[in-house]
Chain A
Amino acid sequence: QQQVKQSPQSLIVQKGGIPIINCAYENTAFDYFPWYQQFPGKGPALLIAIRPDVSEKKEGRFTISFNKSAKQFSLHIMDSQPGDSATYFCAAAVGSGNTGKLIFGQGTTLQVKP
């Protein structure tokens, strides 16, 4: 069973739009929630991460919103650009990820049209 569920599977927006990707989890022991970005032919790279003691974190145009009671978190990309076209993965881990053991969502393929 998938411990971290991600939606939608794919997303198309116009340049300047605000794509939103959602994730839900069941394991309340998770205490670290990163988002990874992957371009074709490359490995994933860390984009932004949040811990459950905060409800929102911003880094540049990327924002994570976290709802601990609902066990949900989401990624918002402000003023999206064609260069943001990539696959995005949410993930979760126990112990701040300090085991090398990440549980990933299914991924969302984002296309930003010029």
Chain B
Amino acid sequence: NAGVTQTPKFQVLKTGQSMTLQCAQDMNHEYMSWYRQDPGMGLRLIHYSVGAGITDQGEVPNGYNVSRSTTEDFPLRLLSAAPSQTSVYFCASSYPSEGSTEAFFGQGTRLTVV
């Protein structure tokens, strides 16, 4: 089982460029989320999805778009990259369960915007 796979692992962008961070999971999980991790800020939720065709905003959604056309994939699009979007991005998936839910994280994408 691959779990949650993120590509690319590293990326350098120029200010104003656009790109898509890919996230795929093979566990048939309904829920998927994108977080960004910055020093001293922990992980902050960007967007999340509770199923194919359903997405919602998290704490820091500005500058990012998402869509969920399949259960397996949840790409994150940067529309016009800015230096403030330099961060490590994590995708996570989970399934509904009674009592508690474990989120499974990918290995992350380290993005630098110059």
Contacts and interface: CB of A to CB of B under 8 A. Distances in A.
A44 interface: yes
Interface in A8-50: 9, 32, 34, 36, 41-46, 49
Interface stretch (A66-74, A75-83, A104-112): A104-112
Interface in B22-57: 30-33, 35, 40-45, 48-50
Most buried by B among A2, A46, A101, A107: A101
A51 B99 CA distance: 8
Contact of B45 (A34, A103, A105): A103
Interface residues of A, number: 29
B97 interface: yes
Given A99-B48, A100-B31, A100-B49, A51 B42 contact: no
A5 B40 CA distance: 11
Which of B43, B99, B102 counts the most A-chain CB atoms under 10 A from its CB? B43
B48 A46 contact: no
Nearest to B34: A100
Given A41-B107, A100-B50, A101-B33, A107 B101 contact: no
B100 A51 contact: yes
Q: Which of A45, A100, A103, A106 has the most CB of B within 10 A?
A: A100
Interface of B: 4, 30-33, 35, 40-45, 48-50, 58-59, 90, 92-94, 96-103, 105-108
6 contacts: A42-B108, A43-B105, A89-B43, A100-B48, A103-B59, A104-B43
